């Protein structure tokens, strides 16, 4: 992921503010039965698939709402009859106003988007009272 030059960071936005990011892809040629999407994976591993539409400059574009300057992964895929047909390399970027790319399909075996980052296991705090540790004990305590 390229380093961010502070000159080109919107000073009116806080990191994590919602921002409409325009994905713009040039150099794509689609047949009638093909569709192009961008797959966006956020830091929690949630994947969103957005269709791209042709604009006046004959580039394909879509807009996604992301978290300003937060890191995410994205990958362009072309589907034919609902099946993944071609794809680009998955890239990492920081959310900003526009992501401009040139279509470069990879012919290798489809590379999956980066796996969801491991989250620390959630455990109950040690000082929690006994009666809130299970539903049964809560029902017993409050008489449901």
Is residue 9 near another protein by the rule CB under 8 A?
yes
- Look up tokens 């000159």; give the residue: 7
Is residue 31 near another protein by the rule CB under 8 A?
no
Is residue 57 near another protein by the rule CB under 8 A?
no
Nearest to 70 by CA among 46, 105, 104, 49: 46
**Residues between 100 and 119 that touch another protein (CB under 8 A):** 100
Binds another protein by CB under 8 A, chosen from 3, 8, 112, 124: 8
**116 — phi, psi (to 5°)?**
-55, 135
Cα 144 from Cα 108, distance rounded (Å):
59
Is residue 11 near another protein by the rule CB under 8 A?
yes
Residues that bind another protein (CB under 8 A): 4-5, 7-12, 96-100
């Amino acid at each position: 992921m390229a380093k961010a030059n502070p000159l080109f960071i919107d000073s009116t936005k806080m990191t994590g503010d919602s921002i409409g990011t325009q994905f713009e892809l040039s150099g794509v040629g689609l047949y009638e039965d093909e569709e192009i999407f961008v797959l966006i994976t956020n830091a929690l591993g949630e994947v969103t698939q957005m269709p791209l539409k042709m604009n006046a400059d004959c580039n394909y574009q879509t807009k996604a709402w992301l978290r300003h300057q937060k890191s995410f992964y994205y990958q362009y895929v072309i589907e034919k009859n609902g099946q993944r047909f071609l794809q680009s390399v998955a890239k990492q970027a920081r959310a900003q106003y526009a992501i401009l790319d040139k279509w470069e399909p990879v012919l290798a075996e489809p590379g999956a988007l980066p796996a969801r980052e491991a989250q620390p296991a959630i455990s109950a705090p040690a000082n929690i009272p006994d009666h809130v540790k299970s539903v049964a004990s809560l029902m017993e305590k409050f008489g449901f």
